[in-house]
Amino acid sequence: MKAFVVDKYNKNGILRLADMPEPQLGDGDVLVEIHAAAVNLLDSKVRTGEFKLILPYRRPFILGHDVAGKVIRVGSKVRKFKLGDDVYARPRDGRIGAFAELIAMDEADVALKPKNLSMEEAASIPLVGLTAWQTLIERAGLKKGQKIFIQAGSGGVGTFAIQLAKHLGASVATTASAASADLLKRLGADLVIDYRKDDFEKVLSGYDVVLNSQDAKTLEKSLAVLKPGGKLISISGPPDPEFAREKRLNLALRMLLRLLSRNIRTKARRRGVGFSFLFMWAQGDQLSKITSLIESGAIRPVVDRVFPFEATNEALAYVETGRAKGKVVVKVR
């Protein structure tokens, strides 16, 4: 099968289009004919080796973390899916590979595709949808009437998280360029701060939750907008000791992550707020709940551009510019 692979970690490298063997199918796996795959900033970070200490892939490996397609084979122990099912997923770490014609995934990671979405729209959902779900619902416990600040509202996570937060009944503030303000207000944002003109930490105060997706400087500024007991949840780092324990990292890595996150953890503690790092995980049951929200109309996908499969490198380069509004998708079939 055709696939785009990482041969070596390289900041300026490109993915190689290669002929790769068909994936091996385990007893609990589904083999999916890929119709579309979304491109994420995570793909860029994995390609450059930024996560190689915690995600040690054996090269060459196929890149890609978001997939939509059709089930063409099932393992002997699979009970949730059958041949011909239209599905979507964020395959678990260690088994990624959406930039290809086929992928084998554990059935626990997979959900039926929303009936009202195309394959391209469905492929845009899993990673950002699960990130938003796990941040707002699992980690923050966001409730009706609370206030949340979601950074970078026009990005993939931002466009989904705004809609989910509004569905939960929260008041939503976000940052974006002036050109994106109307889109984000239509998605449910109550306040859109133009990051080019205003400092969010001077505008916002008394917030219950902050979803941080930016750099260390922005992370530290975010502490100022939280009320006592508030929660600062970062999906862009630094990883904290709890993450190291969950990943069962070795002692040296646990010590390193403790050191990297010590400054923000200390400052959060002094302000009486909580800090945690979230690295989303594959979860088919949660994705099924997201399917229900999409089919009900509570959440809709935001797709910026669709590239042909052979232009996967161009799609990745476009994502790296940071200019995409919503998600970027590759049409495989």
**DSSP assignment of 257-322:** HHHHHHHHHHHHHHHT-EEEE------HHHHHHHHHHHHHTS----EEEEEEGGGHHHHHHHHHHT
Cis-peptide into 60, omega within 30 deg: yes
Residue 72's pLDDT is what?
A: 98
CB 54, CB 98: distance < 8 Å:
no
> With 90 as the cut, is the pLDDT of residue 35 above it?
yes
Delimit the domains of the chain by residue range.
2-125+301-331, 127-277
Name residue, tokens 């979304």: 38
Tens-digit pLDDT profile for residues 122-179: 999 999 999 999 999 999 999 999 999 999 999 999 999 999 999 999 999 999 999 9
Question: Quick check: do 2-125+301-331 and 127-277 share a fold?
Answer: no
Tens-digit pLDDT profile for residues 294-323: 999 999 999 999 999 999 999 999 999 999
Residue 108's pLDDT is what?
A: 98
Residue 11's pLDDT is what?
A: 84
Query: What average pLDDT does this structure show over 262-269?
Result: 98
pLDDT above 70 covers what percent of the chain? 100
> With 90 as the cut, is the pLDDT of residue 87 above it?
yes
163 phi and psi, to 5 degrees?
A: -65, -40
- State the Cα–Cα distance between residues 260 and 262, nearest whole angstrom: 6
Residue 121's pLDDT is what?
A: 98
Q: Is the pTM of this model over 0.95?
A: yes
127-277 has which CATH code? 3.40.50.720
Domain 2-125+301-331 in CATH 3.90.180.10? The answer is yes
Q: List Cβ<8 Å contacts ≥24 apart for 255-258.
A: none
Q: Which helix (H) or strand (E) holds 211?
A: strand 207-212
> With 90 as the cut, is the pLDDT of residue 275 above it?
yes
Residue 55's pLDDT is what?
A: 92
- State the Cα–Cα distance between residues 6 and 83, nearest whole angstrom: 30
Residue 261's pLDDT is what?
A: 97
Residue 213's pLDDT is what?
A: 97
> With 90 as the cut, is the pLDDT of residue 12 above it?
no
Query: What average pLDDT does this structure show over 9-20?
Result: 93
Residue 13's pLDDT is what?
A: 82
Tens-digit pLDDT profile for residues 199-250: 999 999 999 999 999 999 999 999 999 999 999 999 999 999 999 999 999 9
